[in-house]
Amino acid sequence: MTTETVTSSLGVLIFSTDNTHLYQCDTTEQFTLVFFGQKVVFRFCELIVFKSKIRKIDLFNLFNTDVPDIELIHLPHCDRFFALSTLQILELRELFSGSFAMMELNSIIQRRIVRKAL
């Protein structure tokens, strides 16, 4: 495991899975999701909305053979639709749980070490 911070023009890389990455830009306070080659920019509250939509998808329903195993997700902030397969949903869930664990960890570090010194 490497501890070095990966930065790019999109900001700091928070977390990655095989096909998805989430970056945080400290200057704009925006997040960039790179998802199977597509890029979507979120403000924090938009990211939370997207995350909870992904969390609330009923996967069992997608396994049901009577319905197509694709879930349509609307992103109101940029007016785009994602058609997500079961595997993509699982990968996004993994990305979000990893990313938010990292953000919580960062938050603890900031509270215990950085802000405490102020």
Partner 1 sequence: MKDILRRHQVLSEEITDILNKQVKIEAQSSASYLALAAWCDVRGYDNCAAFFFKQSEEERKHQMKIFRYLTDMECNAISPAVAESQYEFGSLREVFEKALEMEISVTDAIHDIVRACRKAGDIATEEFMRWFVQEQIEEEFVARRTLELFDVLGEDKIALGMIEERVLHVEYDGGEEG
Which residues are at the interface with partner 1 (CB under 8 A)?
Answer: 5, 12, 24, 26, 29, 44-45, 48-49, 51-52, 100, 103-104, 106-107, 110-111, 114
Question: 62 with 86: CB under 8 angstroms?
Answer: yes
Look up residue 95 and give its two tokens. 């990305």
C-beta closer to partner 1: residue 64 or 112: 112
C-beta closer to partner 1: residue 19 or 40: 40
C-beta closer to partner 1: residue 46 or 69: 46
Smallest distance from partner 1 to CB 6, Å: 11
Q: How far apart are CA 63 and CA 72, in angstroms?
A: 15
Smallest distance from partner 1 to CB 37, Å: 25
Question: 102 with 14: CB under 8 angstroms?
Answer: yes
Q: How far apart are CA 14 and CA 23, in angstroms?
A: 5
Q: What are phi and psi of 68, to 5 degrees?
A: -65, 145
Smallest distance from partner 1 to CB 76, Å: 11
C-beta closer to partner 1: residue 65 or 117: 117
Smallest distance from partner 1 to CB 49, Å: 5
Closest CA to 22 of 2, 42, 3: 42
